[in-house]
Amino acid sequence: MESIIAKDFNWEMGHRLPFHTGGCQNIHGHSYKMRVEISGRIDSSTGMVMDYFDIKALVQPIVDQLDHSFLCDSSDKLLMDFFAQHSMKVNFIDMYSTAENIAYYILQQLIPGFSSFTSVKKLTVRLCETENTYAEACYEFSR
């Protein structure tokens, strides 16, 4: 038997899109909401695809790292200079900090930890930047 399970996380984070002309070029922030969805086989000995406790143990450190930080695109010279001169909580990303890219960035960090849970077949990160929008990134494990 297979099932899909999910756990939701949220955090506050600043960012900007330097190339944007519609407002997102300004420094601003979002209350990000993320759903980590796991699709896989129900382990007959536990009745679970995966323990929610284990999901939290893998995901929460990444959320804590991002919370109340600024996600700085490393090609953003203006802000790279600023953060070089001012000690603040900042994370650097080698791509534009769009919802699509952030979902992918988080997914890449989650894959190694989830790969050791053999019942997990597919991992999906759904990132909501606002209440009405989301981007998804997913990875299928070859078992």
Q: Answer for the pair 100, 129: CB distance below 8 angstroms, yes or no.
A: no
Residues with catalytic annotation?
Answer: 24, 68, 129
108-126 core/surface letters (b: 16 or more CB in 10 A; e: else): eebeebbeebebbbebbbb
Q: Which amino acid is at 80?
A: M
Q: Which amino acid is at 24?
A: C
Q: Answer for the pair 66, 31: CB distance below 8 angstroms, yes or no.
A: no
